Structures are given as structure tokens and as C-alpha cells.
Copies of this chain bind each other. A is one copy, B any other.
Amino acid sequence: MCRWAAYRGEPLYLEELVTSPKHSLIEQSHCAVRAKTATNGDGFGIAWYGDRPEPGRYRDILPAWSDCNLKSIARQIRSPLFLAHVRAATGGGTRRDNCHPFVFGRWSFMHNGQIGDFEHLRRPMETMLDNELYSARSGTTDSELLFLLALQFGLDRDPLGAVAEALAFVERLAERLGRPALVRFTAAFSDGRDLYAVRYATDWKAPTLYAGPMGSSGGYCLVSEPLNDDDSAWVEVPDGSAIIVGENGVDVRLFGTADVAMAPASRLFSG
């Protein structure tokens, strides 16, 4: 089980969420007090938005808690919008290309969860990608592929719709192949302007997602698990929801794949 934290608000030093001694993502990962799987030592990554339209990114395969570069970078960089992820590999080897967040153009994306039977779905999923996105695939995880599928299905145009479509595609693909459709998906993503998160699973067992205000001027933090013991500071986002943190605050919506039209998937399925 991976862990992640994302922030949108007044510029904040990354270290406050990522590496500070108490209650940060890294500390939590090292101690892993609440998690079912104890270790998160399969790499980490951060993506932050600064002066450029595209995010900066730093990721490595060391355990996050032993990386001095991360500590120094997180202490120097202040950003109004960033994502941080600590990985527990469920599939895909331990290598930089498999570490979240994934980045494409101005988009960043990170994920906790899994696609059941991914080894059988991988190839037809990759077949759906246009050449540009196919070439952009550099790792072997289901997470990166879901991100590329969402880009394929219009992440730029309709972020939540495109993600729903990518998930719906996977579900239907599994059914077509006569396999049970299992998707668990708790993800955060951003275009540098708004911060999105989705909690969704076909079996209503999506990994947890919490939201909490941060700072004095309307900032928000989204996390896979509360970063400290003050549970009252965090609100659990229910399964089947999407959350958008934008200029005007937080917006929570229902999220599902039931109503997704078959348009793009039909390319593959119509054959």
C-alpha cells in the first residue's frame, strides 16, 4: 500500500508535509503505524509547480527516509501546489520509472491502489494509446498506464470525466476478457491549477482518502492517511467520490463509472 499527500494553497515548504520530523509523509511511512502492509521502502517522488507550466519532479528508488537529497530539496522548495508519494511496490519493479508522481506536459499524477489481473489487461490497455502516449510509457506499473489512458481519454478537456472513462474502460475490458473486474483507485492529479483526487473501487474497498485545511489562508491538504493523530482535523472522503481543490475552495462530487459512454472504448471493443 502506497501513501501520498497533496497540497494546494499558499506557497508552503515541501518539508512541512513531506519530511518534517513529526507526522510527515516520510515519518509515517517509516513507522507505518496504521498501515496493513508495514513497509513503504520501494521509492518515492515529489512533483511541484513553480514558475513553469510543467511541474518539477524528483524521484528515487531509495527508501524515502534515507534520502538526503529529498530532505534538502523539500527544505528549500516552496510551492502552492505539490504532490508527494511513497511507494510500496505491488507490481512493476523497483526503479525510478515506476515511482510516482508520473508527469506528462503540465499534468502530474499519483495513485494508491491496483488493477486486478493487470498482467492480462496490460497489453490491450496499452493498445488504446495514441503513438505519442505509447512512446511516453517508460515504466511497467498499472498506475502509469491509468494516467496515460486518462490523458488519452481527454484529461485536459474534462479531468474527472477522463479518469472515469479510463476506469470504465478497464472494467469493461476485464469483462470482455471474461475476468472479474477489480479496480481500486485512490489517486491525486493536477494540471498546475486545480488539485483533483478520486476515491473509487469496483468492490467499494478503495484505499482511504482524507482532506484537511492547512494554513491560515484557505489551503487544503489531501492525504491517503491522516498525517497526525489529531483525527478531528481530517475528514474522510467517502468511496465513490471526487474532490477538487481550486481557487474557490473545495468541491466534493459523486464519482463512478456507471454513466460513462462507450465512445472511446468502442474503438477496441467494436472489433
Chain A residues in contact with chain B, CB under 8 A?
A: 30-32, 38-39, 41-42, 48, 50-52, 56-63, 66-69, 72-73, 75-78, 89, 93-97, 119, 122-123, 131, 134-135, 138, 140
Partner of A66, one of B50, B59, B73, B93: B93
Nearest residue (CB) in B for A92 is: B138
Given contacts A68-B93, A76-B77, 20 further A-B contacts (CB under 8 A): A31-B38, A32-B38, A32-B39, A38-B38, A39-B41, A41-B41, A41-B66, A50-B77, A52-B75, A56-B75, A56-B77, A57-B69, A57-B72, A58-B72, A59-B69, A61-B62, A62-B94, A95-B96, A97-B97, A123-B131
Nearest residue (CB) in B for A127 is: B127
Nearest residue (CB) in B for A122 is: B135
CB distance from A188 to the nearest CB of B (A): 19
Given contacts A68-B96, A96-B95, contact A39 B42 (CB under 8 A): no
Q: How far is the CA of A131 from the CA of B78 in the complex (A)?
A: 34
CB distance from A187 to the nearest CB of B (A): 21
Q: Can you report 30 A-B residue pairs in the complex whose CB atoms are below 8 A from each other?
A: A32-B39, A38-B38, A39-B63, A41-B63, A41-B66, A42-B63, A42-B66, A50-B76, A51-B78, A56-B72, A56-B73, A56-B75, A56-B76, A57-B69, A58-B69, A58-B72, A58-B73, A59-B69, A62-B94, A63-B63, A66-B89, A66-B93, A66-B94, A68-B93, A68-B96, A76-B77, A77-B77, A93-B97, A123-B134, A123-B135
Chain B residues with Cβ below 8 Å from A69 are 57-60, 69
CB distance from A12 to the nearest CB of B (A): 12
Nearest residue (CB) in B for A140 is: B138
Q: Are A63 and B94 in contact (CB under 8 A)?
A: yes
CB distance from A130 to the nearest CB of B (A): 10
